[in-house]
Amino acid sequence: MRKRKGFTLLEICIGMLLLGGVLVIYLQSMQSSKKKNEYYSEHFIASIMAAKVVEACFQEADINLYGIEALGLVDKDGQGLTFSTPVTDGQTVFFKAPEITLEQHPHLYSMFSKDFMLDINSEKDAKQYFTLNTAFAWKAATGAGKFNFYCNFPGSVLRKEPHSTFAFPEAKLEKKLVERFFEEKNKNLGTIISSPGAREVALSTGRIYFSTSSLLADKPFTEAFATAEKLAAEPHAPTSVKYYQATELYFGIARDILDLMLFLKPEVERLSKDLDKIDSMNLRTKTRLQVFIQRSGLALDKLRQVFLISVNEAASRYRAQMQSSTSLKSQRLMIEKCLSMHRLMIVTADFSDGVFVSDNAYNIIRSEYSLLLATLARYFADKDQSIVRLAAQEKRFADDNMIKDRYFVCDLVYQLFSEIAALKAKLPDPDPGVPDPDLSVIGQPSGNGTAAGAITWAQDQMNGGSGKGLNVNIGKRICDDPKAWNDWNLAFVSTAYNGSKGELLVGSAIDSYSAWESKGKVKTTGRPPAGAIMYTAASAGNPYGHIFIATGKSDESGDPIVITTGSSGSFDGVREMTLSQVVSWASGKYLGYVSPE
Amino acid sequence: MMRRKVSGYVFPLILMATISIGFFTLTLVQLQSSHHDQLQHLNDYQHALNLACSANVEVLSELREKQWDERFFKDKPIYKYDQELFGGIYDICVEDYDTAQYTFNVKIRTTMGDRKNLFYWRQKYMPNMLDFTRMAYTVSFGEFPPELFEPAKKSEIDKIVDDKLKNADNNYAESIDIAKNLKKEPTLGAVIKKLGALPPGTDPSSIKGESQLRPSSPVLGTQASNQPKVKASDVLDELKNLVNPVDRLNLPAAGRSICNSNLMIRSEPWGSVISTIPPGGAVDVIGLQGDFFEITRGGTSGYSHINWIAVPGHTPSGVEPPRPPGAPPAW
């Protein structure tokens, strides 16, 4: 019973020892737990921040082909750089906006200011993508803290091969050429053109001509064009579905034409380089080929013009849409497209004739681009730093004339447009030939209103002809009086066309020229076709100017042969002579010609 | 009695306290372990996502090198298992989805510890040259149960993505309308009311800041060009004249002569005359050779110039064509 009254000292000691032991374990656990919690917390924050860095890199690379460079993680040659910086120094590109400051984020600041270092090592793989090791190192409560992510990012080298759905099928090309260009059937191209170099020129011409024809024959393309023009002419707000639709249509038109033109680039280069290889072909075959070379060259120049107009229109519309869009995602997409189009405009500014009504295309293009970049930089300063960096980078590329070097398509398009300009300057001027004589006007007082009739009738007034053309002004004919048409050159040409052209029913040759000129009908380049109405200017000795008709023929030196009336001071009657002789004789400079149709 | 009872509780109390602290300590360790597991899981997931994204970048990089026509997955789906990257393991499948639309699927199944994740990209290759800063864009991205990676499950996962895209497409117009309507609401409370997001009986005024006017969004100052451009359709018309419309005809077709006298049918382009067509006479146009239509009329086959024969899509000029240099006279 006495024993059961209490515990022995030994029992108490054991109890206290047990309790003390457990308390020690508990306190140690608490201490360890505190440290581990702190470590896990820091580790977690580090992982979140590393994920933020990785995400920022993806965002940057998504909108900017040179995004990793814009972040300063690789140099301008794409070679890796080591990036090591404290997080809270206000300089770290990933934590600059918003910056981690003591005032704004005291807890984060106190954590990151303890030697929290962001280290990024970048490395370019042989396959042109970047591998980034994003690491955080810090002095953790448990010792050295470290966390890292490896991740790949797309590289800046991007090339595509041009494809066009409008490319004329190679399997059908030779047959088509033989039939359409050379008016033959069931023959090989080799039997028509023996020179391999000339054959290649013909094939290149065919690819350009028939592929362009395929584009123009494509119903969706022509309908898209018509719809875009219609919608653009209507007053739709930039927020409206129809405005967006027109923008996409213009973008699609520019895209289709660019794909086709770049696909045809090797053909343009060949034509430009090897045009002289067709010189040895026989006259008829060469002339036929020259006709299509000329059409193809001019068609390429028109494609250039339509492409640049469409690109300008699409870029302009994207700028308007961006203004009213409040979605950052859609703004980023539009910025990406818009910048690409502006880059193309910048590099081809020297080839932008026929795009703007104003002839100051170069300045318009550069000022619109500068304004766009400045506006983007200003607006996105507190919203999306990747766009701010992109705008700054673009400005540098443009200022340093680096756009061609940085974007392969810009370089290709510049080369292409240069080639087209060079080709256009040396396009052949094929002999248009002459129409068969129109026998119905022989012996008649006037022509019948057609070009063939005009030439036949004019030739009938020359020596050996019937000379029965009637000058109604004086009631005389050459068969009766060799001087019947002397000094009546305008009346002669008008009679050759049977008085059917209003522009010839005026007071003088120079008035007639002015009438055509005001309608934009006068041409000064190329060979005047048969029946073309030609002019020389007024001079001190001849205030009325001179008018005459082209025969469509040329002499050996390419000088056009024309039919002209004489004058009291030179010769009587009607003669054929070269244009140079007329200019010399009429003492007025050559003004140009009007095609008869 | 009382003292005896009190003194009898000391040891059990110590024992209880010891056991309690022991349990508490164990619980703490368990909590710590759970906390650690959660963090580890989060980190593993981020690692898995990075790994999958990195593997996808490698796929795109390979596509860049070989171009679309020579893509490595052109003929059949490519499955690769147990690939290693950055210390992780992944399985990958790359396959065409709809070649007409240039779409392809990339499925990447990562393994981190004992956990697997399946990431799925449907991507669209952009063959055009105008989008020259972008080779492909993601049509759809998602995470799916890892077992759907297997070839036998291909149609199942594709269907899920198809349905998701179709659903988004169906809802697009409506979502635009909703966004447009919500933009008009002046206050947060009005927006919530419009959305019908308040539980029944909730007083809207109890929402913090409900009456506060929504700040107007700053406006991006980019503007459309005010420089008038040449009309593209005028240039297109000039282009259409350069590339003769006759080259865009669908032949054979029915035609007729527009010549007001007898039109010649020649044996070949610029060849001898073998017959004539009376004014307005009908012909079957079967082909094009040079600047001549190949025609048949009443059993006679030959060639008549395009300037005088009308067919749907071609309005003849009615101009006597010049004889090309080198072409022999017809008679």
B65 to chain A, any CB pair closer than 8 A? The answer is yes
Q: How many Å apart are CA A558 and CA B210, to the nearest integer?
A: 86
- Domain residue extents for chain A: 37-153, 170-425, 439-594
Decide if A7 and B7 are in contact by the 8 Å CB cutoff: yes
The structure tokens 């392809």 sit at B104
- Domain residue extents for chain B: 28-199, 245-310
Q: What is the pLDDT of residues A440-489, one digit of tens each?
A: 999 999 999 988 899 999 999 999 999 999 999 999 999 999 999 999 99
Distance from the B205 Cα atom to the nearest Cα atom in chain A, whole angstroms? 28
pLDDT at residue number A26: 79
Q: How confident is the model at residue B324 (pLDDT cuts 50, 70, 90)?
A: confident
Distance from the A433 Cα atom to the nearest Cα atom in chain B, whole angstroms? 4
Nearest to B161 by CA among B138, B136, B140: B140
- CB pairs below 8 Å between A and B: how many? 321
Q: Does the model's ipTM exceed the 0.85 cut?
A: no
pLDDT at residue number A126: 76
Q: How many Å apart are CA B32 and CA A32, to the nearest integer?
A: 10
How many angstroms from the chain centroid is the CA of residue B99? 12
User: Which residue of chain B has the CA closest to A302?
Assistant: B239
Mean pLDDT of A531-544: 92
Decide if A299 and B325 are in contact by the 8 Å CB cutoff: no
Q: How many Å apart are CA A527 and CA A557, to the nearest integer?
A: 12
User: Which residue of chain A has the CA closest to B271?
Assistant: A183
Stronger pLDDT, A359 or B213, i.e. the higher one: A359
pLDDT at residue number B168: 92
Tokens found for residue A421: 């300009």
Q: What is the pLDDT of residues A169-199, one digit of tens each?
A: 999 999 999 999 999 988 999 999 999 999 9
Count how many residues are written for chain B: 331
Q: How confident is the model at residue B93 (pLDDT cuts 50, 70, 90)?
A: very high
Q: What is the pLDDT of residues B15-71, one digit of tens each?
A: 788 888 888 878 877 877 777 777 777 778 888 999 999 999 999 999 988 888 899
Tokens found for residue A585: 């004789």
Mean pLDDT of A476-504: 95
Report residue B289: phi and psi, to 5°: -135, 115
pLDDT tops 60 at residue B86: yes
User: Which residue of chain B has the CA closest to A356?
Assistant: B229
pLDDT tops 80 at residue B8: no
User: Which residue of chain B has the CA closest to A368?
Assistant: B225
Tokens found for residue A411: 């370089």
Chain B, 74 to 93: residues with Cβ < 8 Å from chain A are: 85-87
pLDDT tops 60 at residue A591: yes
pLDDT tops 90 at residue A94: no
Q: How many Å apart are CA A211 and CA A219, to the nearest integer?
A: 14
B289 to chain A, any CB pair closer than 8 A? The answer is yes
Q: What is the pLDDT of residues A364-377, one digit of tens each?
A: 999 999 999 999 99
pLDDT tops 70 at residue B202: yes
Distance from the A320 Cα atom to the nearest Cα atom in chain B, whole angstroms? 5
Mean pLDDT of A399-415: 95
Q: What is the pLDDT of residues A206-219, one digit of tens each?
A: 999 999 999 999 99
Q: How many Å apart are CA A62 and CA B138, to the nearest integer?
A: 11
Of B25, B55, B133, the CB nearest to A340: B133
Query: Judging by beta carbons within 10 Å of its beta carbon (0-12, 13-18, 19+), is residue A546 exposed, middle or buried?
Result: buried
Task: Report DSSP state, residue A382.
Answer: G
Distances (CA, A) of A518 to A503, A515, A555, B37: 11, 5, 31, 86
Nearest to A116 by CA among A42, A57, A176, A37: A42
Q: What is the pLDDT of residues A256-304, one digit of tens each?
A: 999 999 999 999 999 999 999 999 898 889 999 999 999 999 999 999 9
Decide if A597 and B324 are in contact by the 8 Å CB cutoff: no
Distance from the A293 Cα atom to the nearest Cα atom in chain B, whole angstroms? 11
Work out the percent of chain B whose per-residue pLDDT is above 90.
Answer: 55
- Amino acid at residue number A272: S
pLDDT at residue number B1: 45
Of A65, A180, A378, the CB nearest to B290: A180
Tokens found for residue A240: 């409206």
pLDDT at residue number B203: 76
pLDDT tops 90 at residue B281: yes
Of A151, A305, A313, the CB nearest to B53: A151
Q: Which of A4-8, A245-249, A433-437, B175-179 is predicted least confidently? A: A4-8
| Average pLDDT in chain A | 90
pLDDT at residue number A380: 92
Does residue B98 sit in helix, strand or coil?
Answer: strand
Kindly report the number of other CB atoms within 10 A of residue B303's CB atom: 24
The structure tokens 């069931």 sit at A186
User: Which residue of chain B has the CA closest to A65?
Assistant: B133
CA distance from start to end of chain B: 153
Task: Report DSSP state, residue B261.
Answer: S
pLDDT tops 90 at residue B236: yes
Stronger pLDDT, A289 or A115, i.e. the higher one: A289
Contacts of B326 (CB under 8 A, 6+ apart): A282, A283, A284, A285, A287
The structure tokens 């009607």 sit at A574
pLDDT tops 50 at residue A393: yes
pLDDT at residue number A75: 87
Looking at the domain B245-310, which fold is it?
Answer: SH3 type barrels. (2.30.30)
pLDDT tops 60 at residue A555: yes
Q: How many Å apart are CA A324 and CA A317, to the nearest integer?
A: 11
Nearest to A397 by CA among A462, A340, A317, A324: A340
Q: Are A478 and A485 contacting, i.e. CB atoms less than 8 angstroms apart?
A: yes
Give the best residue of A8, A160, A240 to mutate against chain B (max B CB count within 10 A). Answer: A160
Mean pLDDT of B67-80: 91
B2 to chain A, any CB pair closer than 8 A? The answer is no
pLDDT at residue number B215: 65
Stronger pLDDT, A298 or A325, i.e. the higher one: A298
User: Which residue of chain B has the CA closest to A372?
Assistant: B222
pLDDT tops 60 at residue B4: no
Mean pLDDT of A408-429: 95
Q: What is the pLDDT of residues B137-161, one digit of tens each?
A: 999 999 999 999 999 999 999 999 9
Distance from the A106 Cα atom to the nearest Cα atom in chain B, whole angstroms? 23
pLDDT tops 70 at residue B3: no
Tokens found for residue A79: 């070679």
